[in-house]
Amino acid sequence: MNMFKINSKGFSIVEASVVMGVVSIGVLGVFSLVLQNIQVQKVNRNMLVASMLAQEGLELVRNIRDDNWIASPAVNWDMDIAGWNNNNFTIDYTMAMADVDDTNVAENIVEEAGANLYFVNGGNFYTHSAAGNAATSYSRLITVDGIDASSIADGAVDYYKVKSHVQWKEKAVLKDYIAETHLYNWR
């Protein structure tokens, strides 16, 4: 009980700074957690947009096959798709298909000018046509791969593996969203 009287020393500066250090590390931890939360939300948002764009790519190729099915006079079910077999191309809501220069498409789609998506000025749909339009951060590339699934290979394509690859840059880091579907000649 005499402690208060006897001990007349305060905290030393070393003790005080250790306490401050511990407290600020704790606060910084919480703060960085919140910051990270925001980052993740942003990535999620872009991921959601990209997933819809990837799905659009698949639906557009599917639409080509479906068009062939109901066309009259009848045409091959894979008309317009067969020509792109084992190749990369772009397609947008206007249905204009285009080739891209194949130099760095394997992993770096955003560097392919033809694969970038744009907004028509005045705020319309995502499109590949660059003329006078505002660039978005997304790029999309479609790859079709014809597969001969017959037990005895007959050289004829039984289905197409269609891959829709959307890529964008998130603070200089490349992000990808890849969707894939198989298109057969039966409904």
Partner 1 sequence: MLKNILKNKLGTSLIEIMFAVSIFVILIGLTLGIFKSTIESQKNAIAAQNIQENLRFLFEIISKEIRGAKIMDSACDGFFTISSDKKIYYVNGGVLYFKNKDDECVAYYVDGNDDFVIERDNGIGALPITPNDIKVTDLDFFARDNDIGVLPDAKIQPRVTIKIEVEANNSGAYKQHTIMQTTVSSRRYE
| Footprint on residues 107-126 left by partner 1 (CB under 8 A) | 119, 123-126
By beta-carbon proximity to partner 1, the closer residue of 119 and 159 is: 119
Distance, CA of 129 to CA of 45 (rounded, Å): 24
The token pair at 11 is: 């905290």
Of positions 30, 74, 106, 153, contacts partner 1 by CB under 8 A: 30
- Residue 141 neighbours by CB under 8 Å, 6+ apart: 88, 89, 90, 100, 105, 109, 112, 115, 164, 165, 167
Instruction: Take residue 28 and report the two structure tokens written for it.
Output: 């910084």
Tell me if 1 contacts partner 1 by CB under 8 A. Answer: yes
- Contact call for residue 55 and partner 1 (CB under 8 A): yes
Which residues, numbered 143-162, are part of the site for partner 1 (CB under 8 A)?
none
User: What are 175's strand-pairing partners?
Assistant: 168
Decide: is 56 part of the binding site for partner 1 (CB under 8 A).
yes
User: What one-character DSSP code corresponds to residue 85?
Assistant: B
CA–CA gap between residue 26 and residue 115 (Å, rounded): 46
Span from 71-79, 80-88, 148-156, 163-171 in contact with partner 1 (CB under 8 A): 71-79
Residues that bind partner 1 in the complex, under the rule CB under 8 A: 1-2, 4-5, 27, 30-31, 34-35, 37-38, 41-42, 44-45, 48-49, 52-53, 55-56, 59-60, 62-63, 66-67, 69-73, 93, 95, 119, 123-126, 187
